[in-house]
Every structure is written in structure tokens, then in C-alpha cells.
Structure 1
Amino acid sequence: MTESGKSSQPAQVNEYTASDIRVLDAREAIRKRPGMYIGSSGERGLHQMVYEVVAYAVDEHLAGHGGAIDVTITADGGVRVADHGRGMPVEGIERELTELSFGSKPRTGYGTSGGLGGVGLCVVGALSSRLTVEVRRDGRRWTQAYEKGVPVTALTRHEETGGHGTAIAFLPDAGIFEPSRFSFATLSERLRELACLNEGLAVSLTDERPERPVRHHHSGGLPAYLAHLSPHPSGRVHSAALAFASQNADRTLLAEVAMEWNTGSPGGLHSFANSTRTVEGGAHEHGFRTALTDLLNDYARRHGLLPPDGGDLSAEAVDEGLTAVLSVKLTHPVFEGCTKTRLGNPEAMDYVREVVRAHLTEWLERNPGDAAAVVRHVLGRAATGNERGVGNPG
């Protein structure tokens, strides 16, 4: 009985049946909740669309095919990405662009893979009002067109060609993205990262929109990216920037580092996993920071560079003026979140710590003058912080 004295009606358990369960196909699921796949339907997600297509091209380079990627912001506001890789397998074009085939890349010859692990092109197609793919492979040129993830033409065979590669052009759906206009500066900075993180890769960006015809060309390794982030060599605390790389025995994990302390730069640790910026850090960053702080403290104490009654160098003081680029490439990355902002692999933490310890120990012992200059710099920053009350209670 209810408080009013009336009998409550029994729940109609049979009202909920299998017919009430709606199963979305890939296209519907992506268009209904784009943020689950590319982070947002705003500016961040808009640019993530480009990064997903570029990631496919970068993976071809990592597999040993194609050393150049050309990205164009087209006059109509769309984007075209062209590579010189093997060309997408013709029989798999429609499947690649319409199915959420998670993890497909590692099964098709990619040792390490960026992007969304095989679903990125499908997501881009579903969220584009128009997409065209052009493949040069097997002695022919092939094309197909899509609208909002649905093929609107058959796969068409064209003239013979001796070339190879894949070109994908797409126009984001303005009904999903707000804003739907690409930023040249945002794309240029990300493409610079990719070129520097993948040595031997050249990436160009061209803007064909009427108000700003311009072209940028990026190439180089981690030292080139470090020089971009810290462009004041006269302020460097030591004689030259440090750069080192190491790969584990079974070739499943590669760690690369470029770093310097500089009084003219704000500093900052820029970390990447499989060429994706890990803005929330993770295991690889933790391994780097702990190794660096422990090593500097150990070196400073063994060589009498710390005051006898002083405490350890803090991680915050070590970070002052330090600009570092940390890149790891893993066969089996474990990310937190679909857009891969934090790396969770514990083996990445252990390996980065091991690599930093080995290479930095050697550098410190081989360059005692530079080592002492770094310790003095860190001590000076720590003293400045203490004068300002940094870290003091109250």
C-alpha cells in the first residue's frame, strides 16, 4: 500500500525486451558521440581528424615505406593528406574507411602505430560531409568517394601508373564541428613534431585558402625539435645539448631523449608515445623525472657539490630551465583515454629510467665542467625559489 492507501502497480517486467536494445553501426555510433573517438566536436576534435589521417601515413614511413607526407588545407576548407607509401590495399579500402577494426594495423605489418589503432580513418570518414580516397598501387590508380561515411561511388580503376601511395581528402561535417575552420598554426606545430619525432620523415603543409597561400616544410630529429623549443643557445647552461636513444633487446620499445638546461627558456618536458603527444604524461615521464633527479643528487653528493648541511636537490629545482623532449615507441602501448593523453605501460617507466641513468651517468662523468655548471644552476634556482617562499608552509 502507498501512503494514499492505493495499491501500487506492479512493474511490468515484460515491457523491456530485446527489441528495445538498439545496436548502432559504426557510422551511427561515431556520428552520435564523436567525442568518444576524437576527444570533442570542437577545435580539438577538428584537428584530431587531420592527425588521424596523417598517422596512417606516418605508420607507412615507420614500416619503411615513404619518406614524405604532403598535407594541404584546400581552398574549400577541407584537408588533403598524401603519402608515398605502399598504397592502401585495394581490396581493403572500403573496410578501412567504414569499419571499426580495432588493432588492425599491428596485424598488417606496423611494429608501432600512432592514431587510434586502426579506427582513425573510419572515424574521419563518418564525420566528414565528403571524403575521397585515391590509391596508387598494383600498377593502377584507384578512387572512391564517400559522404558521411557511406560510399557514394564504386571503387573505380583508372589509368596505369608506376607510382604508389595513398591520398585522402576530406571536408569535415559543419553540422558536427563548431568551429569547422582549420588553424594553419596548430597544424604546422603538430606536423613539425611528427617530422622531428620520426627521423628521415619530411612533412609539408600548404594552405590554399585564398586569404593565406603559404607552405611550410618540416624535417629533422629530436635535436631539431629541441632547438625549436629552446631557441637561445647563448643561454645554455652547459656546452651542448644532450641527445641519446636506445632500443631494448627484443625491439619492442625505443626511447629517445633530447634535453638542455637554458637560462633563456621557460623549460618544460614534452613527452610522446608512438608520436602522439602525451599531455598528461604517464609512465615514461615518471621514469625520466625520477632517474634525472636521483642521478643529479648522487653526482652532486659524490663530488662535493652540495652544501654539507643542505638537503637533496628537489625535482622542482631540477626542472627549472630544463627543456626536454622524450619520445617512446612501443609495440603494445597502453593508453588512458581514446585520444591517448597518458601512457600507462610500466615497462616504459622502467626502460626510460634505465636509459636515462646509463646515458646521463656517462655524460656527467665525461663532462665534469658541464656537470658542475648544471648542479650550480639547479642550486641557484632552488635558492631563488626558497627566497620567494616556494615550498615553505604558510
Structure 2
Amino acid sequence: MSEESNAYDAGKIVVLEGLEAVRKRPGMYIGSVGERGLHYMVFEAAERALDEILSGTAGRVEITLTADGRVRVADDGTGLPVEHAGHSDGPAVEARLTVLSCGAQPANRRSLSGGYFGVGLAAVNALSGRLTAEVRRDGARWVLEYERGVAVATPTRTGPADGSGTTITFRPDAEIFETLEFSFDTLAERFGELAFLNRDLDITLADDRDPAAPRAVRFRFPGGPRDHIAEQGADPLHPDVIGFEREYSEMEGAVEVAFRWCDSREERVASYANSRPTTGGGTHELGFRDGLAAALNAHARERQLLTPSDLDLTPAQLGAGLTAVVSVKLDRPEFLGAIRDRLGNGPVRACVAEAVREHLAAWLRANPAQAAAVLARISKSIAPLELRCCDDR
């Protein structure tokens, strides 16, 4: 190959600007052009509306899969500002739909921070064959329409409006995505997670794709993770869910934990940081397991269920039958790993461990019979150790 054919200079550099870059390399902005990226579009469109509930400016969000293949995300908030209406309180809807990351919230405990890429509504607009935004604000109704990220016309005031809010309706672009088939169950799982992790959220997910069998589910958990754990698992060893919430200045955030043991060998521990699933674990999950081990070992020795010659139970031995949610919300979360699925904040481990140890120790002392049942269940999965749980000491 000649030197001339290998030459690389400024003339070969192609600069992609704005939404053109999103359409050219969609995977860089939404992760994939398969089913995962398709669902990410829905989460990104909904995140702004859900943050309005958390900030107190909206009460509910409705996500609908329509019969013609579109997705509609509607909220009852104040309505996004419209440039043509002369509003100046925050980024206008036009900017949010055409400028990447416009209006995106910084990662902190008061916002969902669920968007892995933080590109906002602009990426949804760029990758939609058609997108319509309807804004109801100050008694007026405005409609904005786009095709593949390009405005079809100027924002139009279409008449009066009852109430306020913003509705984003989009159809993913068939030229971009490998599939246009949304999974109701996948969306329901994620919106259910967001609802029990943020007890103020009120989310309805509806599926109108089959007119003969429409379905809808409402996600609202006033009790937070405790409500979720109460619905999980069969044959619980104790009726009440152990749960608490505590703030720590040392980790610049708060921890909320809920858990219960069932008569099962299965362990189901789900951890989250700023409402993001941390499937790779991290310091919050390690702290949770440290706290469990500390409280259970202390109780077992106090009740002489472990002798001085017995080794301590390790965190890895305590998961049989355990169902738990470990959630931390931090002002400055540090996510590790190639897909940022592991929490790295150092102070979190000690804070979570302390909180779990104290609350579990108090529950064990207050419920000796249930405590013995938990330790007996754990002992079944540990060989050759046999705790003396049958001794009524």
C-alpha cells in the first residue's frame, strides 16, 4: 500500500454536529440499536417527568404504548417553557429537544440520574421517525412536531388548555432500530423499581397495542422498599419486614434497606445507587453484608448458639432465603466498571454496615423466636456447622 493511500490529515476528518452525531452513532448515546436501546428511549423520555414529581412540581406520570407503535409520556407538571411564548424560567422545550444534555440533572440524591448517558430528550428526538411535544401551560396549548430531530414547523398555539403538563409522543425510527417491539414486562420491571425506590413516584404504564386486551399497571409504593419486599418471596420466616432509612454526612447521602428471610435456599439481594441498579455490587452491598454478619454473629454468641471454638459466620453464608433491597442516594456517586454497574464510594461501606448492624441487632433482641428461626435456616445451608438453634436458651 502506498504512502499516499495511508496518508491521514485534517482533510479526512469529518465533524458531526448536534443530532447528526446521534443518528450516525446511536449506540454511543443509547447503548444499542436493539431492544435495550429501544427501552432506553422510553426511560430517557420519562426521566424528566419523573424528576418533576420528585421536585414537587408534578403528581403523576403516565406512559402508554399506543396501538400504532408510538410511546406517549404524559405528566401533570407545570409544562415546559416554550420559547415562542416568551418564557425564561429554565430551558425551553425546543432546546431540550434539539440540544444534547440540555436540562439534564447532575447526578445527586435528589434526581433519578437513571440515564446512563445523560443525553436527555434530544437523543430521543434524533432517533425518532416522528416526535410530537404538547405543552399545556398558562391556559394555552402548544404543539411542536419533529421528524428525525428536525422541526417540521414552528411551535403552534392550538388553543386553550385545561390544567398543565407536558406530553411527549414518539415513534422510534425504523431506519435506526433493529426491532420496534417494546417489552411491557421489561418496562414494568424498571418503572416498578423506580417507584419503590422513590416513594413519592406515581407511575402508570399502559399497553394499548392489542385493542382486544389492553392492560395497565400502576406503580406506587408509599412504604418504599418495605412494600416491595413484603410482596416478594414465599413462606417468610418472620412476618415483619426489617427496614430503615438513615442519613450519613460521612458518605454525603442516605441509605435505605429492607429485607426478610424466607424458607428457601435462594438469595435475592438487589442493590441500587441513586436509583440505578448496581448489578456489579459495590461498597453499599459489601457494607450490607458486613452489617448482617456482625449482628448475627454477636446474637448467636450472646445466645450461645455459637461456642467460643466455632468460627464466625461469614457474609457469604448468610444469604440462604434472604430477600433484600439495598439503596443509597448520594450527592456524588462514583460508578465503576465498563458499564458503570458498581458503586465505588469508600465511606459508604462503613456507614451501611453500621446502620444494618444496629437495626438488625435491635430486631434480633426484640424477636428471639424469629431470630432463632433465621439462624436455624442459615445453619441448614452450612456444613458441617450446626447451630444450636433448637436449644431454647
Shift in CA distance, 380/276, structure 1 to aligned 2, threshold 3 Å = same
> CA separation in 2, counterparts of 1:170 and 1:110?
29
> SS state of the match for residue 383, structure 1?
coil
Given candidates 226, 231, 235, the residue that maps to 1:228 is 231
Shift in CA distance, 287/184, structure 1 to aligned 2, threshold 3 Å = same
- Confirm whether residue 214 of structure 1 aligns to residue 215 of structure 2: yes
> CA separation in 1, counterparts of 2:385 and 2:128?
51
Given candidates 37, 43, 54, the residue that maps to 1:51 is 43
> SS state of the match for residue 318, structure 2?
helix
> CA separation in 1, counterparts of 2:373 and 2:291?
19
Aligned residue in 2 for 1:175: 175
Given candidates 11, 18, 32, the residue that maps to 1:40 is 32
- Confirm whether residue 115 of structure 1 aligns to residue 100 of structure 2: no
**Aligned runs of 1:184-223 on 2, under 5 Å?**
184-210=184-210, 212-220=213-221, 221-223=224-226
Shift in CA distance, 124/336, structure 1 to aligned 2, threshold 3 Å = farther
- Taking structure 2 as the reference length, what is the TM-score of the superposition? 0.85
> SS state of the match for residue 194, structure 2?
helix
- Taking structure 1 as the reference length, what is the TM-score of the superposition? 0.85
> SS state of the match for residue 383, structure 2?
helix
Aligned residue in 1 for 2:317: 317
> C-alpha displacement at 1:259, in angstroms?
0.5
> C-alpha displacement at 1:182, in angstroms?
0.6
**Aligned runs of 1:140-151 on 2, under 5 Å?**
140-151=140-151
**Aligned runs of 1:90-109 on 2, under 5 Å?**
90-91=82-83, 92-101=92-101, 104-106=104-106
Counterpart amino acid of 2:9?
A: T
> CA separation in 2, counterparts of 1:354 and 1:343?
18
Q: Decide whether the 8 Å contact of 2:109 with 2:330 is kept in 1.
A: no
**Aligned runs of 1:337-348 on 2, under 5 Å?**
340-348=340-348
> CA separation in 1, counterparts of 2:166 and 2:109?
16
Aligned residue in 1 for 2:128: 128
Q: Which stretch shifts more, 336-345 or 307-316?
A: 336-345
> CA separation in 1, counterparts of 2:306 and 2:385?
17
Q: Deviations over 1:68-123 (max 9, x none)?
A: 1111001111211111222223242122122223784249x983332327423122
Counterpart amino acid of 1:124?
A: V
> SS state of the match for residue 240, structure 1?
coil
> CA separation in 1, counterparts of 2:335 and 2:100?
18
Shift in CA distance, 90/284, structure 1 to aligned 2, threshold 3 Å = farther
> SS state of the match for residue 180, structure 2?
coil
Aligned residue in 2 for 1:389: none
> CA separation in 1, counterparts of 2:183 and 2:385?
38
Aligned residue in 1 for 2:80: 88
Q: Decide whether the 8 Å contact of 1:70 with 1:81 is kept in 2.
A: yes
> SS state of the match for residue 369, structure 1?
helix
> CA separation in 1, counterparts of 2:167 and 2:317?
48
Q: Decide whether the 8 Å contact of 1:239 with 1:370 is kept in 2.
A: no
- Which aligned runs of 4 or more in structure 1 are off by greater than 6 angstroms? none
Flag structure 1 segments of 5+ consecutive residues without an equivalent. 1-7, 387-394
> C-alpha displacement at 1:370, in angstroms?
2.4
Q: Which stretch shifts more, 81-90 or 336-345?
A: 336-345
> C-alpha displacement at 1:169, in angstroms?
1.0
Aligned residue in 1 for 2:65: 73
> SS state of the match for residue 105, structure 1?
coil
Q: Which stretch shifts more, 49-58 or 334-343?
A: 334-343
Provide the alpha-carbon RMSD of the alignment: 2.9
Q: Which stretch shifts more, 50-59 or 14-23?
A: 14-23
Shift in CA distance, 228/43, structure 1 to aligned 2, threshold 3 Å = farther
Aligned residue in 1 for 2:88: none
The structure with the largest helix share of the pair is: 1
Aligned residue in 2 for 1:391: none
Aligned residue in 2 for 1:3: none
Q: Decide whether the 8 Å contact of 2:284 with 2:349 is kept in 1.
A: yes
Shift in CA distance, 373/357, structure 1 to aligned 2, threshold 3 Å = same
> CA separation in 2, counterparts of 1:312 and 1:121?
52
Flag structure 2 segments of 5+ consecutive residues without an equivalent. 84-91, 387-393
- Confirm whether residue 353 of structure 1 aligns to residue 345 of structure 2: no
Counterpart amino acid of 2:95?
A: R
Counterpart amino acid of 1:112?
A: S
Q: Decide whether the 8 Å contact of 2:265 with 2:320 is kept in 1.
A: no
Aligned pairs, how many? 374
> C-alpha displacement at 1:22, in angstroms?
2.2
> CA separation in 1, counterparts of 2:347 and 2:102?
23
> SS state of the match for residue 243, structure 2?
strand
> SS state of the match for residue 382, structure 1?
coil
Counterpart amino acid of 1:113?
A: L
Shift in CA distance, 49/385, structure 1 to aligned 2, threshold 3 Å = farther
Shift in CA distance, 28/115, structure 1 to aligned 2, threshold 3 Å = farther
Q: Which stretch shifts more, 98-107 or 184-193?
A: 98-107
